[in-house]
Amino acid sequence: MNQVVHKSTVQRSLSAHAALGLLASALLYILCLTGTVTVLYEEWQRVEQPDAPEMTAIAPAAVQTAIANLLAGEKGRKATGHLYVHLPTDALPRTTITTDNQAAHVDARGALAMPERNAWSEFLLGLHDMLNVPGVIGMTIVGALGVMMLALTLTGIIAHPRIFRDAFRLRARDKGGVGLADWHNRLGVWTLPFAIAIALTGAMIGLGSINGYGLAGLFYKGDLEAAYAPIFGEEGKPDPKSAPLPDVAAALRTMAQRFPEARPLYVILHEPLTAGQQVQVLAGHDRRLIFGETYAFDSQGRFTGKAGLSDGHIGQQVAASAYNLHFGNYGGWPVKLAYILFGAALCGMIAAGVLIWLGKRERRGFHHPRLRAAWHAIIWGVPFALSMTFLARLTIGNEAPFVAIFWLLLLASLIAALCLPDTIRRGLQFLLGAGVIGGGLLAAALALGG
């Protein structure tokens, strides 16, 4: 009797262990798939709002006018702590102004054109950055998964000493899973530098939030901005007394004259229309991985210094390079296409890894038909749920409940896998194909109709 109980307990423990392993792999798969799709973040915004005004550049005076126009509409609302002006870039040739209360596209003259409506793109980014879990908890989970991915990559290399020598060896697919294992190992070799870079920078970005909160609590009395100031630059001291709009146009003209090698990407106003307001210009540097250098100006547009992200301490430059290296925001379309290709390969490697593990278990007599069906629900259910959120954006609009749609559809896919383990894969493949084709056709029709 005890032996029977012992075997039963062991079997349940193994099943629980397998389920936990499946959960971790599922989250990694979601991150890799959404990261691959997020490479086209700017392009998705253009798909969402194809009629927003576009321009290759905007004059400093027009930026000043646009800021004044938007802030004029802030009267009666809660005072905004920050105002951001996205300036035209090659990837997103639009000018957009965002406050704590609203966001709007502007035309080349600085006139307000329409509200910004890119909720689906933001949902996609939030799913990748935080798994839609708000705050530091979501960032921590994603950072921990980055560490796990890095460990899996390195241990996979160590566990297969012939992996580099057999980098282009592919055997025929068979029932023993040899062919699938070869593909898994080959993809591991071909994507090794990319996987390490993505996992390491993902862990840095995700777990960096914990470090920031920890430093703020220990040394800066909970002030998170003060904790980040030695790396990203510090803001001025707040002064709530009213003040006129700062001369942003003068700051942009100074940028063009003193720093012609820098490409302004964002204008940031801290505490606008107060005596403590400060102007910052985030500018990109060609042939550098840093997301940009921060140039500070006073309210008259006089240059007061820069953060040092481009030429400061090596730690600053490394921290400033992690974001672009992670998302592929450098090098234009060749780099984007490479990130999409390697990201798809990572998704395939994760999908194959779990199937290989399940195959080994089955050859040893441990059969998990529902676990295998659940994994197929993840492989095909995640992109299906994403396609449905995109369709919701095109049909329902910017206010569609994307988070609920995605997670409920994924949950429904898993429940269907447990109830119909033999048909779930083909069913989800069909639904995914229909969703992708339908979304593509509808997006094209809306773009042509606009």
pLDDT value at 76 more than 90: no
Q: How confident is the model at residue 10 (pLDDT cuts 50, 70, 90)?
A: very low
Task: Specify if 98 maps to a domain.
Answer: yes
pLDDT digits (tens, 9 = 90+) for 45-64: 999 999 999 999 999 999 99
Task: Specify if 349 maps to a domain.
Answer: no
What pLDDT is stored for residue 224 in this prediction? 58
Mean pLDDT of the chain, nearest integer: 86
Where is pLDDT greater, at 140 or 173? 140
Q: To the nearest 10°, the Cα dihedral for 328, 331, 335, 339?
A: 0
> What residues make up the domain containing 308?
50-117+223-327
Q: Give the mean pLDDT of 423-427.
A: 94
What pLDDT is stored for residue 17 in this prediction? 45
Domain count, the chain: 1
pLDDT digits (tens, 9 = 90+) for 299-339: 999 999 998 888 888 888 888 898 899 999 888 999 999 99
Task: Specify if 265 maps to a domain.
Answer: yes
Task: Specify if 370 maps to a domain.
Answer: no
Tokens 């800066």 belong to residue: 220
Task: Specify if 142 maps to a domain.
Answer: no
What pLDDT is stored for residue 45 in this prediction? 96
Q: How confident is the model at residue 163 (pLDDT cuts 50, 70, 90)?
A: low
pLDDT value at 447 more than 90: no
Q: How confident is the model at residue 210 (pLDDT cuts 50, 70, 90)?
A: confident
Q: Give the mean pLDDT of 423-440.
A: 93
Task: Specify if 94 maps to a domain.
Answer: yes
pLDDT value at 21 more than 50: yes
439 and 390 Cβ atoms separated by less than 8 Å = yes
pLDDT digits (tens, 9 = 90+) for 257-304: 999 999 999 999 999 999 989 999 999 998 889 989 999 999 999 999
Task: Specify if 304 maps to a domain.
Answer: yes
Where is pLDDT greater, at 21 or 400? 400
pLDDT value at 222 more than 70: no
Q: Give the mean pLDDT of 336-354.
A: 92
pLDDT value at 5 more than 50: no
394 and 42 Cβ atoms separated by less than 8 Å = no
The tokens describing 178, both together, are 């040899």
Where is pLDDT greater, at 159 or 74? 74
Task: Specify if 245 maps to a domain.
Answer: yes
